Structure 1
């Protein structure tokens, strides 16, 4: 029995794959390689390059490897860019999820852990977001993730799919020096790229209604996130009860400017960030309560902000 990881050659997916292996669960990776890195997948892990829109091939893989569950991370993950490319976001995140669910039903695979997002909340009115907070996404990306949750929920009713959706906040750091965040849009890679090029990092938006005017987010370490995925997979396989959604957040907000200060301290490179206009689709503040995940998924913050920056900075040197 094995677990299929869609998007398993990506930054988060590769950490999940390694955590599955460490827990004694056999991972199988499917990735389109639109943003994945082949070297992130260990040689001993079965790997298939294909898009999750390819239903028949997914069925073949699930049957070949006796797949018992799917951790679904594949998708288009850029909130700001999705405003420019909404059709792409919906094709990958909604249509792709529907094809994956179809393949799972055909293969009689009944367990799913879904990579959702804090973007489903939009800009909440509460200082601390819980799973009961209203969902009002402000970007096509956030909308597509919410629709993905609905599809999975409805398939649970229709076909007995056991599932849970994990709503991520800002994922940073590295659990292994060779696994780096390759995104061209995420904050840490952009900051490190600028510093390595002798340029000054940028802050997008300094006029938000926050303490220092910059966006406030929950920053969580990717290795902690991966462990929560594995725990969810184990619970589903054991038929243990799980909530339909969980927030994976720290409960503490960190501003972009605070991140810049931590980067300067860890790298030893002093700089004053350039201030640019806001990006479309970026809410001012999202900070989450992870109490339910702590109760059911052994969720906890095992790394400080400086440890997150330090591990990410070391891994970035491998790019």
Structure 2
């Protein structure tokens, strides 16, 4: 049985991936400091509570568990916060990842699956965005993820045994179809989650950040991918890694997008409830359009998404949200 260490496995995406791994028969260990993750979300693995700023803790974890591969989710992920507090992002997302990579090297663990982001592209020169598009992030969050991708490339060139895959996520949304897992952030910045919280009464109103973008209705357009499809992409990428294939980078998205206003209308349709909205100015660090060219992941990994439907994405998120206290 292959052993997989998942950093950040108590978080939103990580917990879904851990479930998929366990269902596939992998032995999984979650490494998480629980700063934004939740102990209750670790349903399908043991939990090692520690921070990636502690190399001794990382070493103990890896020496005791002896993973065949590491899937690395642990990071700070809020674009706007990264603009306001860049040092936090460079410490958490770069320095702490280097700690992990150093211990992996010391202990001979050479398979690394990295949680990257479409934010590495910044304002794209063309849409949809393929993996060879220029990397021009426009916020510290995107910069931090770009830097790790460069570090992984350099490590692989220095050490031929080291192999990595980076998955560049577009906008992840929705919840576990079985209702076991979903988004729980104290101050969620995700559009769909915030819209649902407004409908539920947990938030007073939904703000639209910018209505003057160069899009059909003036609002930002994003490529929304269901979290279960993203989890499946991780399992296929892991198989690819464990089979000893070459280093690679793949976009994870559906290849089409929805504007903020289109998402709002769909939320109102799915829930059949009114939604209080306020239009306000642009938010720092937000590109106008981010849509994935997903041909590569389909061709190389054979990824076939199952939940490419905005109504379904919102319905699973709504089913989950209704069960939360706040």
TM-score by length of structure 1 reads 0.96
* Deviation (angstroms), 1:47: 0.4
Match of 1:41 in 2: 42
| 2:245 corresponding residue in structure 1 | 240
Q: Which residue of 2 aligns with 1:218?
A: 223
Q: Which 4+ stretches in 1 moved above 4 angstroms?
A: none
d(CA) in 1 for partners of 2:157 and 2:68? 19
Task: Tell whether the 8 Å contact from 1:9 to 1:38 is kept in structure 2 after alignment.
Answer: yes
- The match for 2:183 is 181
The RMSD of aligned alpha carbons is: 1.3
What whole-Å deviation, never above 9, does each CA across 1:249-298 have from its counterpart, x for those lacking one?
11111111111011001111123522111110111001111111112233
Does residue 233 of structure 2 align to residue 228 of structure 1? Answer: yes
Q: Which moved more, 1:26-35 or 1:134-143?
A: 26-35
**SS of aligned partner of 1:270:** coil
1:261 is matched with: 265
Residue 68 of structure 2: SS of its match in structure 1? strand
> In structure 1, how many angstroms separate the alpha carbons of the residues matched to 2:111 and 2:134?
26
1:102 corresponds to: 102
Match of 1:204 in 2: 209
Q: Distance in 2 between matches of 1:230 and 1:205?
A: 37
SS at match of 1:52: coil
Q: State the alpha-carbon separation in 2 of the partners of residues 308 and 171 from structure 1.
A: 9
Partner of 2:29: helix, strand, or coil? strand
Aligned residues: 317
* Map of 1:9 onto structure 2: 10
Q: Deviations over 1:116-168 (max 9, x none)?
A: 00000001120210001001000000000000111111111223311010000
Q: Which runs of 5+ in 2 are unaligned?
A: none
Shift of 1:299: 2.4
What corresponds to 2:143 in structure 1?
143
Question: Where in structure 1 are there 5+ consecutive unaligned residues?
Answer: none
**1:251 aligns to what?**
255
Number of the residue aligned with 1:169: 170
- Whether the 8 Å contact between 1:115 and 1:166 is mirrored in structure 2 is yes
Deviates more, 1:302-311 or 1:54-63: 54-63
Bigger Cα displacement from structure 2, 300-309 vs 139-148: 300-309
Between 1:285-294 and 1:271-280, the stretch displaced more is: 271-280
Of residues 45-54 and 212-221 in structure 1, the stretch that sits farther from structure 2 once superposed is 45-54
Q: Provide the secondary structure at the position in 2 that maps to 1:137.
A: coil
Indicate the residue corresponding to 1:57 in structure 2: 57
- Quote the Cα distance in structure 2 between the aligned partners of 1:72 and 1:60: 17
Using the size of structure 2 for normalisation, the TM-score is 0.94
Say if 2:51 and 2:57, in contact at 8 Å, map to a contact too: no
